[in-house]
Amino acid sequence: MPMAMETRADAIRTFLESVHPYDSLPRDELTQVVDSFSRREYPAGSEIYAAGEPLKGIFLIKRGAVEVIDRNGELVSILGPRNSFGERGLMRDGLALTSARATEDSVILMLPVAELKRLIANSPAFTRFFNRSRPAESRGNDLSTLKVADLMARNPVTCQPGDSVQDAARLMREKHISSLAVTENGTLVGILTTRDLTARVLAEGLAATTTVAEVMTADPLTLTPDSLGSDILHTMLERRIGHLPIVEGGELRGIITQTDLTRFQAVSTAQLVRDAAVADSAEEMAEVTARIPRLLMQLVAANNAHEVVTRLITDIADTVTRRLLKLAETQFGPAPVPWLWLACGSQGRQEQTGITDQDNCLILDDSVTDDDMEFFRQMAKYVSDGLNTAGYVYCPGDMMATNPRWCQPRRVWRRYFEKWVDSPSPEAQMLASVMFDLRPIGGTPALFRDLQTETLAMASKNSIFVAHMISNSLKHQPPLGLLRGFATIRSGEYKNHIDLKLGGVVPVADLARVYAIKGRLSAVNTRARLEGAEHAGVISISGARDLIEAYDLIARLRLENQAALVRSGRKPDNFLAPSDLSDFERSHLRDAFVVVRTMQSALGHRGGTLG
């Protein structure tokens, strides 16, 4: 329970003026909001609310730190000053979806639910902010509003009208499908299904040499790629059919079946997380992660914000990791001392776009002995091998907990960071860039909390280290060419393409990391770091807004390109051909790259503050 409850209008006003979206409110409106907030103090270790409890409002951290824990007792996130929590439950049924606990003495502000909903209804800034912050389960799996092009199976298997039904049946068996599109000179003339073979061939005693034309459904009902999922549902229900060819301009583009619809409904973040959480082996987890590309396609097709898509996909990697950690303890017994498994790289930043390599480490309690280390070597190998089997392949740079260098007591990790900061060699810069993106996944979060705070303070005070990190952040440049063009790859498989990862999102992530160090910001997500840097005054409001908008465009195009590759049956990658974009998109993408280059220049010449 709270130790005290009071309103201190002046202090709350000053604080809210530095927190978005409250900083966007007119002065008289802000006064009303200030009067609505209550101020509460929670000692370290006290519970703010438990999962399933009614929520009376949204919580905003003024000072301290809060752990958010799911219903299974797993750590969801560690929040610091200016972070909000509790809004997900309010936006759904008013009940807390998670538990929240103060991990250090904290001052928490609470805004009543009625006031929050009034602000969302009347302020575009609040609408954008809280809509962006919420998961998109209501949109990401809305079958009825998606286009057929995002649902259909492309390159459908076909046969000719003159083929025998026996050959057609063999083809269906070989391809593990339940229908064939019947084409003649590239034009759809009919459809043959397993139901046709049963009812019109076997039941009638027809010979195996009977032609497809004699038993197929001629001139079948079709839809176009721009039809909606609702058109599929209504047509199938009304006509009692299970297969719909998709035709455009007289040409067969694809086919959609009831199986496709069932598969779509089964691919949701919640379903994948649930399946991963109960998997009993890495092989079972691999079956779950194999569905991620289709999930990516669906989330993008539903117009979810890029940070929502990447967060949801990263949640699956987190769940797989935590499940493997539990299975490891089941196999090897309880750990001899407290430990913490952390992710870095894109998983650490919650920015995964699909199956990637793994980057992780272990921080151990300082009481660990040499004899104890064998347990953690076994744990690290078990989890790392499991992640590799599940599709998160071994890190080529060996940034994994299986490397003894990255499985160490807390005191050793402190020395690592001290050395990197005090002696910023090229290797130290590289390692610091990776390790400043650490995020706890499973174990005891307290092993990292103070270490992160100490490291940020130490790094921000060392101007030489910051200068080296700035220099390191400028190594990846946006692919800008002369005469308003792009500097595309000149040869190889991706000739005339640009790399939206190394030339787009990585430069922004590098900038955001430096801003986080300069501002002692605990966030590791790139967009959260940019927003935090704006609020902390590390970069100007205009500079921050421009960079965030540029990042949003680059990240969105990257995801849309990956989704298009999945739709076409290919594996997603980071390479985009500018010629595939419209003139409008090319112009805006180049403008976004210009913003990134401008912010890089400002960081290099003026230490990162834009006026």
Q: What would the DSSP string read from start to end of 300-341?
A: HHTT--HHHHHHHHHHHHHHHHHHHHHHHHHHH-S-SS-EEE
Distance CA 196, CA 216 (A): 7
Q: Would the pLDDT of 385 be above 80?
A: yes
Distance CA 341, CA 70 (A): 17
Between 72 and 582, whose confidence is greater?
A: 582
Per-residue confidence (pLDDT) for residue 107, from 0 to 100: 92
Per-residue confidence (pLDDT) for residue 136, from 0 to 100: 40
φ, ψ (nearest 5 deg) of residue 57: 180, -175
Per-residue confidence (pLDDT) for residue 609, from 0 to 100: 43
Mean pLDDT, rounded, of the chain: 86
| pLDDT tens-digit readout, 220-255 | 988 888 787 777 877 787 678 888 999 987 788 889
Q: Nearest-CA neighbor of 531 among 514, 544, 513?
A: 544
Distance CA 466, CA 513 (A): 11
Distance CA 347, CA 363 (A): 17
H/E element, 173: helix 165-175
Q: Would the pLDDT of 92 be above 70?
A: no
- pLDDT (average), residues 277-284: 93
Q: How are beta strands 407-409 and 575-576 bridged, if at all? A: unpaired
- pLDDT (average), residues 157-174: 95
Per-residue confidence (pLDDT) for residue 137, from 0 to 100: 41
Other beta carbons within 10 angstroms of residue 558's beta carbon come to 23
- String of b and e for 428-454 (b: at least 16 CB within 10 Å)? bbebbbbbbbbbbbbbbbbbbbebbee
| pLDDT tens-digit readout, 494-516 | 999 999 999 999 999 999 999 99
Is residue 197 within 8 Å of residue 219, measured between CB atoms? no
Q: Report residue 140's pLDDT band, with 50, 70 and 90 as the boundaries.
A: very low
Is residue 82 within 8 Å of residue 61, measured between CB atoms? yes
Q: Is 266 left (phi over 0), alpha (psi -120 to 50) or beta?
A: alpha
Q: Among 30-39, 140-149, 398-407, where is mean pLDDT lowest? A: 140-149
Per-residue confidence (pLDDT) for residue 2, from 0 to 100: 44
End-to-end CA distance of the chain: 44
Q: Report residue 413's pLDDT band, with 50, 70 and 90 as the boundaries.
A: very high
Q: Report residue 258's pLDDT band, with 50, 70 and 90 as the boundaries.
A: confident
Per-residue confidence (pLDDT) for residue 408, from 0 to 100: 97
| pLDDT tens-digit readout, 470-492 | 998 899 999 987 545 788 999 99
Per-residue confidence (pLDDT) for residue 88, from 0 to 100: 61
Distance CA 523, CA 536 (A): 12
Residue 574 structure tokens: 């980071």
Return the beta strands (E) in 216-258 as ranges.
217-218, 243-248, 251-257
Distance CA 308, CA 276 (A): 20
Per-residue confidence (pLDDT) for residue 235, from 0 to 100: 77
Q: How large a percentage of the chain has pLDDT more than 90?
A: 48
Q: How large a percentage of the chain has pLDDT more than 70?
A: 90
Q: Which domains does the chain have, with CATH numbers?
A: 4-134 (2.60.120.10), 144-264 (3.10.580.10), 304-455 (3.30.460.10), 472-606 (1.20.120)
Q: Report residue 96's pLDDT band, with 50, 70 and 90 as the boundaries.
A: confident
- String of b and e for 180-198 (b: at least 16 CB within 10 Å)? bbbbeeeebbbbbbbebbe
Q: Nearest-CA neighbor of 504 among 608, 575, 433?
A: 575
Per-residue confidence (pLDDT) for residue 533, from 0 to 100: 92
φ, ψ (nearest 5 deg) of residue 51: -55, 135
Residue 123 structure tokens: 């302020």
Q: Nearest-CA neighbor of 561 among 546, 550, 575, 543?
A: 575
Concatenating the DSSP letter of every residue in 454-494 gives HHHHHHHH-HHHHHHHHHHHTSS---B-STT-B----SSTT
Residue with tokens 């949640």: 315
Residue with tokens 């990240």: 555
Per-residue confidence (pLDDT) for residue 607, from 0 to 100: 55
Peptide bond into 21 cis (omega under 30): yes
- Alpha-helical (H) ranges within 64-123 are 87-92, 113-122
CA distances from 379 to 122, 343, 442 (A): 52, 15, 12
Distance CA 456, CA 181 (A): 61
H/E element, 39: strand 38-42
Distance CA 96, CA 109 (A): 17
| pLDDT tens-digit readout, 533-543 | 998 999 988 88
Q: Would the pLDDT of 329 be above 50?
A: yes
Is residue 424 within 8 Å of residue 465, measured between CB atoms? yes
Q: Rg (Cα) of the chain, in Å, rounded?
A: 27
Residue with tokens 């002065």: 27
Is residue 215 within 8 Å of residue 194, measured between CB atoms? no
